[in-house]
Amino acid sequence: MSPDYPLGRTLDLSLDLIARAHSVPVPDDPSALEVLSDAELRPGLDAIIAGREGSDLWVFAYGSLMWNPEFPVAERRIGTVRGFHRRFCLLQRRFRGTPERPGFVLALDRGGLCRGVAFRLPDSEIREALMPVWRREMRGRGYVARWLPVATEAGTVSALTFLANRASDRYAGRLSDAEIAEKIAVACGHKGPSAEYLFRTVEACERLGIRDRHLWSLQALVAERLRACAPGA
């Protein structure tokens, strides 16, 4: 994960470039990804809650949760998880892709380390607090959940963390950055382009002072491909 670029450098990828390349809306196709209902999700949520340690409730964010957590936040800290690294390794056939042109979303895969954001949720009923993020991350069967230690400057906390589910048919393994960029550049679903997810994540990392060579490499490769096909680019 050693970076080879300075923080604050101008990104090659931009929302304007992405919009020019993906100007045609994509309708939702519910058949592209079968999602679990709340009733189907509750046993897994109950099981993860039963294994919780500590009194405070933390969630570790390393992708879209950094810039769109969708839950109330009482405190946030930059933190590091060891033993896993951030990688675009989960195919997205709905939301930001289609079965014909699947995109990618981030997950934590084995090895290395990952810097992200540990969010502490306000004191409340734990199931009510966690269900929104549990629904968002677990309904597509792409992740497994674990309580992992997150090292922060103010001490180590135990945080709910979503790892790549290697048994899922969405798990793509370790493709090269060029192979991933090819899919991200052309993928778009009813929630928007896969490239927008990438852009907002890189932007969030840069803003937070988090260096990640994988993300930086991908944003340059995707921008190059979009400029080749976007009108007026």
Residue among 40, 75, 125, 137 flagged as catalytic: 137
Q: Is 100 one of the catalytic residues? A: no
Q: What is the 3-state secondary structure (H, E, C) of the chain?
A: CCCCCCCCCCCCCCHHHHHHHCCCCCCCCHHHCCCCCHHHHHHHHHHHHHCCCCCCCEEEECCHHHHCCCCCCCEEEEEEEEEEEEEEEEEECCCCCCCCCCEEEEEEEEEEEEEEEEEECCCCCHHHHHHHHHHHHHCCCCEEEEEEEEEECCEEEEEEEEEECCCCCCECCCCCHHHHHHHHHHCEECCEEHHHHHHHHHHHHHHHCCCCHHHHHHHHHHHHHHHHHCCCC
Q: Catalytic residue numbers?
A: 137
